[in-house]
Chains A and B, each alone.
Chain A
Amino acid sequence: MIVELGHYALCLALVAAALQAVTPLWGVRNDNVAAMRFGDSAAQVQFLATLGAFAALTYAYVVSDFSVRTVALNSHSAKPLIYRITGVWANHEGSMLLWVLVLALFGAAIATFARAVPLAMRARVLAVQAMIGVGFFAFILLTSNPFERLPLPPMDGQGMNPLLQDPGIALHPPFLYIGYVGFSTAFSFAIAALMAGKVEPAWARWMRPWVLGAWAALTFGIALGSWWAYYELGWGGFWFWDPVENASFMPWLLGTALLHSAIVVEKRDALQRWTILLAIFTFSLSLMGTFLVRSGILSSVHAFANDPERGAFILVLLAISLVGSMVLFAIRAPAIRERGVFSPISREGGLLLNNLLLAAACGVVFVGTLYPLLLDIATGDRITVGAPYFNQTFGPIFALVAIAAAIGPFLSWKRADARAIAHRLRIVLALSLLVPVIWAALTGWREPLGLAGLGLAAWLFTATLVDLGRRAGIGAAPIATVLRRLVGLPRSAWGLYAGHAGLAICISGVVAISVWKVEAIQTQQLGSPVPVGGYEFTLVDVSQRAGPNYQSSIATVAVSRDGEQVGLLFPERRWYPVERKPTTEAGIRTLWHGDLYAVLGDPAPEGQFVTRYYYNPGVAWMWLGATLMALGGLLTISDRRLRVGAPGARKVPVQAQPA
């Protein structure tokens, strides 16, 4: 019964979305306030209905109702409660339901919180948001109904891939979806602006908090997925240039460009058309990502579904939105005027460069991801585009992005003083060279590319600190003044510094683990130590244990350095009898400079075990850097200027009149 109610709620959400897509636009055209306001209520109803549908499906998973097809195929009664819940979105139907839930959530949030956005604009935004909704509700109901019943329910479910029974990967899709489905708001604002035929600086201010929120979530979501791969797949890899990873990385790259270009629109009334295009393309890449993952067209970890009908449906939705928005753009864009003027060497110029480089980097990932697919379709020739390609092509372009990111904040708006900046950059360069030089003195000069990478990270980090110091007047003002200035800096400035410093820290971690990882693979006797990068790993014990729905061999590995114990690692090998699959759980100890990482392999004759040990330098820095970037996005949202209602006039307290 509850499952049927869920199905009904989903249909209701479709109806609400359909009305929301039409009525507010009619209201704008006929200047009908009630019809425009209808968009707000419809968005809220649409969200509540979708939430109801989602809750109903979750209920079916929690109580293990195996008469529901997706539950029977993807769950099992022996699974712990937490993974019965996260199992809701670990399959095609459920994850699409999560997709529309996030879409509806953003719509309802705009309806509820974006009160500073003028009614006509909000009405248009919500209408566009609902158009996307109609497409995807229809997609779910017509091709991927999660509430479909089985005529003959099985006794128990088929279980869920044990690799996915893990907290990291369970939270990965929600953050990822808040990220890339959240970019739908950028699309809706862009289309709404084109409908209105004008783009004002205020438009960028209305749009930015939503884009920032989505971007922060996407940053965090990508890091979470990478973290999961790192500890779960058992050899310390964190990024594979897998098509599905690229599918979430491309919107991130273009979304990053969008964040920056929207600043120019807001502050300087320039780059409007470019920003609109970016908004459209960023969300189109999200749709393409959905297509790539959901159609199963790419063979990859994440491809659960293998149904051409579904792929074609999403492709049609992508085509409609792309063609429709491009036609609208072609009609309306020529009328959009750019008023702000600036010289090439200026903050605007720097942000433009950032945008162009990020777009080029995104283009490279796009070509590398789709090329093998298109080549196969066109000629039948099968090739692989793997990490070596991306490292050689994306790497240098992204290095330019990082170099430019260091210089950008030094530039003043309109026209920057090139000489003063060159002077400051010389100081930054001198300081940042210290890092690779010291590192090389410690470890040797064998890895020129790795040293260059460290130098790059140091360059960006130093420049960010120097700029922060300059704004606070360090060295020029008394300490009390410096502190007051630091506290008084707008949150968006802190967002900038956190974002750029986070990127620098993240780059240093990626470089360190890629270049200076140490590994040892061996058959090991209990009690005999193995040296790994200055540490000694001793296999102390291997014992058997039973988990809730798996059997486990768990090892105790003692790690010491110079005879002193550093810590114990507990790598595991699990066997999931329902799914008939093994998993490995790496034993990890995170130190500030790197991870000690142990993996337990197969038992070998005479009580020996195959073991794999790694010293992975810089790992914590990667996650710290990415988290700092996401935090930077959130800090900027919390800035007064972007806060909802900020443009409103200050309220003057009314004096009570004496009677």
Chain B
Amino acid sequence: MMARIVMFMAAVMLAFAVPSPVQAIDPDEMFTDLAQEERAREIGKQLRCLVCQNQSIFDSNAGLARDLRMVVRERITAGDNDDQIITFVAERFGDYVLLEPPIKQTTYALWAAPVVFLIAALGLGAVYLRRRQPVIEDGLSEAERAEAQRLLKGGDA
């Protein structure tokens, strides 16, 4: 329910979303421990600011992005690992919050597409080249070929 309310609020705010120059992370929210800060940022880069377009919470200055960063920081302090934190956030805000879409039933096609395209492109190219091959050989008819052989053998009579 909570997630729904947040989503609804996010949708409302989205309608008024205007990009603004970024004053993303504030010094006062940062960890003094460098390793923890590094982790918080790596996680932050994978989560979407709900009221921005394709911006991560790491890059965004929106209040909601800051709130989400604080959630991440709290989980780090609580001792969760990276995957647990991302799962924690995704469970509350939905998969929409993940910049990298999760692999699930509705995204199989999305993740399969690049592989399919690459194979299809190379396959089509191979088929096209193979089909053309006979054209090279059919350049001459049987009679012409015989004539060519005769000429090559040096007979000009």
CB within 8 Å of B: which residues of A? 161, 163, 232-235, 237, 240-243, 298-301, 338, 341-344, 349, 352-353, 356-357, 359-360, 363-364, 367-368, 371-372, 375, 379, 381-389, 392-394, 397, 521-523, 581-584, 599, 601-602, 604, 610, 612
* In the complex, residue of chain B having the shortest beta-carbon distance to the beta carbon of A232: B21
From A232, A357, A523, contact of B27 by CB (8 A): A523
Q: B107 at interface (Cβ–Cβ under 8 A)? A: yes
- Check A384/B48 contact, CB under 8 A, given A241-B54, A364-B114: yes
- Check A299/B97 contact, CB under 8 A, given A240-B55, A360-B118, A360-B121: no
Q: Which of B62-70, B72-80, B129-137 makes up part of the contact surface?
A: B129-137
- Check A381/B22 contact, CB under 8 A, given A341-B135, A387-B54, A397-B114: no
Contact between A584 and B23 (Cβ–Cβ < 8 Å)? yes
List of A residues within 8 angstroms of B132 by Cβ: 338, 341-342
Complex Cα gap A387–B53 (Å): 12
Contact between A384 and B99 (Cβ–Cβ < 8 Å)? yes
Closest CB-CB distance, A506 to chain B, in whole Å?
Answer: 22
From A341, A364, A581, contact of B20 by CB (8 A): A581
Contact between A299 and B53 (Cβ–Cβ < 8 Å)? yes
From A344, A384, A523, A599, contact of B54 by CB (8 A): A384
Q: B154 at interface (Cβ–Cβ under 8 A)? A: no
List of A residues within 8 angstroms of B28 by Cβ: 523
Contact between A389 and B100 (Cβ–Cβ < 8 Å)? yes
Q: B82 at interface (Cβ–Cβ under 8 A)? A: no
Closest CB-CB distance, A235 to chain B, in whole Å?
Answer: 5
List of B residues within 8 angstroms of A392 by Cβ: 100
Contact between A382 and B26 (Cβ–Cβ < 8 Å)? no
* In the complex, residue of chain A having the shortest beta-carbon distance to the beta carbon of B139: A341
- Check A163/B21 contact, CB under 8 A, given A300-B53, A397-B114: yes
- Check A363/B53 contact, CB under 8 A, given A353-B125, A357-B121, A582-B21: no
List of B residues within 8 angstroms of A364 by Cβ: 113-114, 117
Q: Hey, what's the 0/1 contact readout for B2-38 against A, CB within 8 Å counting as 1?
A: 0000010000001001111111111110100000000
Closest 10 CB pairs of A and B: A386-B99, A388-B100, A356-B121, A584-B21, A393-B114, A300-B53, A360-B117, A360-B121, A367-B113, A363-B117
Those of B59-108 within 8 Å (CB) of chain A: 59, 94-102, 106-107
From A298, A388, A397, contact of B118 by CB (8 A): A397
Contact between A386 and B110 (Cβ–Cβ < 8 Å)? no
Contact between A581 and B18 (Cβ–Cβ < 8 Å)? yes
Q: B122 at interface (Cβ–Cβ under 8 A)? A: yes
List of A residues within 8 angstroms of B100 by Cβ: 386, 388-389, 392
- Check A341/B53 contact, CB under 8 A, given A352-B125, A386-B100, A610-B26: no
* In the complex, residue of chain B having the shortest beta-carbon distance to the beta carbon of A353: B125
From A163, A389, A599, A602, contact of B101 by CB (8 A): A389
List of B residues within 8 angstroms of A357 by Cβ: 118, 121
Closest CB-CB distance, B47 to chain A, in whole Å?
Answer: 9
Contact between B98 and A383 (Cβ–Cβ < 8 Å)? yes
Complex Cα gap A243–B52 (Å): 13
- Check A242/B53 contact, CB under 8 A, given A234-B22, A364-B117: yes
Contact between B99 and A301 (Cβ–Cβ < 8 Å)? no
Closest CB-CB distance, A302 to chain B, in whole Å?
Answer: 9
Q: Which of A235, A349, A601 has the most CB of B within 10 A?
A: A235
Contact between A360 and B120 (Cβ–Cβ < 8 Å)? yes
- Check A382/B94 contact, CB under 8 A, given A235-B59, A360-B121: yes
CB within 8 Å of A: which residues of B? 7, 14, 17-28, 30, 46, 48, 53-56, 59, 94-102, 106-107, 109-110, 113-114, 117-118, 120-122, 124-125, 128-129, 132, 135-136, 139
- Check A341/B21 contact, CB under 8 A, given A386-B56, A393-B114: no
- Check A235/B114 contact, CB under 8 A, given A299-B53, A341-B135, A344-B129: no
Contact between A521 and B21 (Cβ–Cβ < 8 Å)? no
Q: Can you add 16 more A-B contacts, CB < 8 Å, to A384-B54, A522-B27, A610-B27?
A: A234-B23, A237-B59, A299-B17, A341-B135, A349-B129, A352-B129, A364-B117, A367-B109, A367-B110, A383-B96, A384-B48, A384-B95, A384-B96, A388-B100, A601-B26, A604-B27
Q: Which of B30, B54, B98, B107 has the most CB of A within 10 A?
A: B54
Complex Cα gap A422–B124 (Å): 25
Contact between A582 and B20 (Cβ–Cβ < 8 Å)? yes
- Check A387/B99 contact, CB under 8 A, given A300-B53, A301-B19, A360-B120: yes
Closest CB-CB distance, A73 to chain B, in whole Å?
Answer: 15
From B17, B21, B114, B128, contact of A352 by CB (8 A): B128
List of A residues within 8 angstroms of B129 by Cβ: 344, 349, 352
Contact between B99 and A375 (Cβ–Cβ < 8 Å)? no
From A243, A341, A388, A523, contact of B99 by CB (8 A): A388
Complex Cα gap A341–B135 (Å): 7
Contact between A356 and B99 (Cβ–Cβ < 8 Å)? no
Complex Cα gap A388–B53 (Å): 15
12 contacts between A and B (CB under 8 A): A234-B22, A243-B53, A298-B53, A300-B53, A353-B125, A357-B118, A367-B110, A382-B94, A386-B100, A523-B28, A610-B26, A610-B27
Contact between A301 and B53 (Cβ–Cβ < 8 Å)? yes
Contact between A163 and B19 (Cβ–Cβ < 8 Å)? yes
Complex Cα gap A315–B110 (Å): 23
Contact between B97 and A384 (Cβ–Cβ < 8 Å)? yes
Contact between A300 and B21 (Cβ–Cβ < 8 Å)? no
List of A residues within 8 angstroms of B101 by Cβ: 372, 383-385, 389
List of A residues within 8 angstroms of B125 by Cβ: 352-353, 356
* In the complex, residue of chain B having the shortest beta-carbon distance to the beta carbon of A379: B106
Contact between B18 and A161 (Cβ–Cβ < 8 Å)? yes
List of B residues within 8 angstroms of A604 by Cβ: 27
- Check A388/B106 contact, CB under 8 A, given A234-B21, A610-B27: no
List of A residues within 8 angstroms of B18 by Cβ: 161, 581
Closest CB-CB distance, B153 to chain A, in whole Å?
Answer: 25
Closest CB-CB distance, A90 to chain B, in whole Å?
Answer: 14
Complex Cα gap A235–B60 (Å): 9
Complex Cα gap A19–B23 (Å): 54
* In the complex, residue of chain A having the shortest beta-carbon distance to the beta carbon of B94: A382
- Check A382/B19 contact, CB under 8 A, given A356-B121, A521-B25: no
Q: Which of B23, B106, B120 has the most CB of A within 10 A?
A: B23
Closest CB-CB distance, A507 to chain B, in whole Å?
Answer: 19
List of B residues within 8 angstroms of A360 by Cβ: 114, 117-118, 120-121
Closest CB-CB distance, A600 to chain B, in whole Å?
Answer: 9
Closest CB-CB distance, A658 to chain B, in whole Å?
Answer: 52
Contact between B95 and A382 (Cβ–Cβ < 8 Å)? yes
Q: Which of B25, B27, B132 has the most CB of A within 10 A?
A: B27
